[in-house]
Amino acid sequence: MADVPNAAPVACVLAGHGLFLLGCGWYGAKISGWTAMHSLYAGAGGGAALGVCGLLTVGGTRKLYMIGVHVGLLLQLAFSAVFGLQAWRSYGVPAKADRFPLFVVMCGGSVLALG
């Protein structure tokens, strides 16, 4: 059986990205006057999903490591695409002008976490 790779760097990136999404979700809810709580819930859910993937990577077996890494990468790719699409759809729309910068930051952070 193959050795388990060093999972610490992967777990740190996934945990960091999860905390970033949680923070962005909190900020999105705050700037809406706490009326857009779905922003906080989505940030917390996305962050929790990435946190679970990070925990899987340090699970001690190669199988758990590979599951955590690959599901985490898929989630990061999905977050990048979703936030990019949201930024694109809100660009130039006056009713969504307050959300556009947040979507750009979230997309950029998700793309950086992939790199």
User: Per-residue pLDDT tens for 95-114?
Assistant: 989 999 999 999 999 999 99
Distances (CA, A) of 107 to 11, 38, 55: 20, 18, 24
Residue 2 domain-assigned? no
User: Could you say which DSSP state residue 94 is in?
Assistant: G
Residues of the chain falling short of pLDDT 70: 1-2
In a domain, 1, yes or no: no
d(CA 24, CA 40): 8
User: The domain containing residue 76 runs over which residues?
Assistant: 8-114
Are the CB atoms for 96 and 22 separated by under 8 Å? Answer: no
- Work out how many domains the chain is built from and give that number: 1
Give the helix/strand (H/E) hosting 62. helix 62-90
pTM (predicted TM-score): 0.92
In a domain, 43, yes or no: yes
Which pLDDT belongs to residue 2? 65
